[in-house]
Amino acid sequence: MARVDELAAPTLGGQELFRPYGTALRRLWSVARRNKLGALGFVLVLVILLVAALSPVIQRYDENHQFQRPNPEFDPGANPLDIARNPNLGSPFILDRWRAPSWEHWLGTDQYGRDIYARIVVGARLAVIIGFGASLISVLSGTITGLISGYFGGRVDFFLQRVVDGVQAFPPLVLLLLLVSVLEEPNLALTVVALGFLGWAYSTRVMRSVVLSVAASTFVEAARACGAGPLRIMLRHVLPNVLATMVVIFSISIGIYILAEAGLSFLGLGPADQTTWGKMVNTGRNQLDSHPWEALFAGLAITLAVLAFNLAGDALRDELDPRLRGRT
């Protein structure tokens, strides 16, 4: 049910407008009751974060261990023609490759005989690092520049927007390639920063457009008329109202970056020695019709993670944007 004071123009004292972040927790609980999907999202996010944090404990096996069993058929003198007909002849051990899910291997094994569940668990940690890290970099940097640009307008805006234009004019692939080629060996940190930087231009533009709308609204005019300084207005008036959009962008971005990492793996540019979901999907995709487990489970993991962050993000946005609460 709508509350009248929320629909009216917020007061200038800033108290009603600026919802104290401290009550967020109480918010969360009421949200959960009202918004089941959002609750689901939060729960999933929590699960993912837990898995990521506890991965060394719960992964069951070493993610690089190749399971194998002795091969009674081994014939050391087998000539290559015989081996071609029966590949098992050539090795004293047979890798447990492409096993279907079982008690021993909850999610089965991949083409090297490694346990998929262990790799998914380890991948969760990397997904969180990559997704959060890049998103954070992208959203924070974009918000700062978007705020400055949108609020001050004039020459500052003009100049900043041209810089954004410049960065944006780079074909994203090119930008990524150049960034990644900086180091001889792309490592995790470089990947996160490069991905984050990729989103800066986008964040800036979107944040700026939202800030423009907010800054043009009456209550900001009024605040300025009362002599409030730009910093105060930005932080206490504009920012909380664009928070919703920030949250939406952040939550969408996490999924996008996890996916972007998959694309990087495809191109062979990702951190080569890490076990990421993207790499697993990429390796497994060529066997989708014969041995789908690796691609399937890694793909599901990605989908669930993105789902989780999006739902949670949606719920947060619904909650934090005062203008949207209480819709009938």
Which residues inside 66-125 make contact with another protein, applying CB under 8 A? 66, 68, 74, 76-81, 83-85, 87-95, 97, 111-113
Please pick, from the candidates 28, 136, 140, 177, the single residue that binds another protein as defined by CB under 8 A: 177
205 binds another protein (CB under 8 A): yes
Nearest CA among 200, 72, 77, 214 for reference residue 139: 200
Return the range that interacts with another protein (CB under 8 A); candidates 42-50, 218-226, 229-237, 278-286.
Answer: 278-286
Q: Which residues, including other chains, have CB under 8 Å from residue 204's CB and lie 6 or more apart?
A: 141, 142, 145, 146, 149, 160, 164
Residue bearing tokens 């969360």: 28
267 binds another protein (CB under 8 A): yes
118 and 62 Cβ atoms separated by less than 8 Å: yes
Q: Look up residue 2 and give its DSSP letter.
A: -
By the 10 Å C-beta count (0-12 exposed, 13-18 middle, 19+ buried), 222 is classed as middle
285 binds another protein (CB under 8 A): yes
- Based on CB atoms, which residue is closest to another protein, 160 or 223? 160
Which tokens sit at 305? 């993670």
Return the range that interacts with another protein (CB under 8 A); candidates 13-21, 134-142, 150-158, 220-228.
Answer: 150-158
171 binds another protein (CB under 8 A): yes
- Based on CB atoms, which residue is closest to another protein, 18 or 68? 68
154 binds another protein (CB under 8 A): yes
Residue bearing tokens 């986008």: 202
- Based on CB atoms, which residue is closest to another protein, 88 or 102? 88
Which tokens sit at 30? 């009421």
- Nearest distance, CB of residue 22 and another protein, angstroms: 25
269 and 261 Cβ atoms separated by less than 8 Å: no
Which tokens sit at 308? 């989780």
- Based on CB atoms, which residue is closest to another protein, 103 or 274? 274
- Based on CB atoms, which residue is closest to another protein, 116 or 281? 281
Return the range that interacts with another protein (CB under 8 A); candidates 44-52, 134-142, 226-234, 264-272.
Answer: 264-272
209 binds another protein (CB under 8 A): yes
**Cα separation of 62 and 115, whole Å?**
8
Q: Look up residue 159 and give its DSSP letter.
A: H
Q: How many chain residues interact with another protein (CB under 8 A)? A: 99
Please pick, from the candidates 58, 174, 189, 235, the single residue that binds another protein as defined by CB under 8 A: 174
- Nearest distance, CB of residue 176 and another protein, angstroms: 9
- Nearest distance, CB of residue 23 and another protein, angstroms: 22
**Cα separation of 186 and 263, whole Å?**
15
310 binds another protein (CB under 8 A): yes
201 binds another protein (CB under 8 A): yes
272 binds another protein (CB under 8 A): yes
219 binds another protein (CB under 8 A): no
In degrees and rounded to multiples of 5, residue 95 shows phi and psi of -70, 145
- Based on CB atoms, which residue is closest to another protein, 103 or 259? 259
**Cα separation of 62 and 136, whole Å?**
30
The one-letter code for the residue type at 160 is: L
**Cα separation of 23 and 320, whole Å?**
11
102 and 280 Cβ atoms separated by less than 8 Å: no
- Based on CB atoms, which residue is closest to another protein, 141 or 287? 287
256 binds another protein (CB under 8 A): yes
First to last CA, the chain: 6
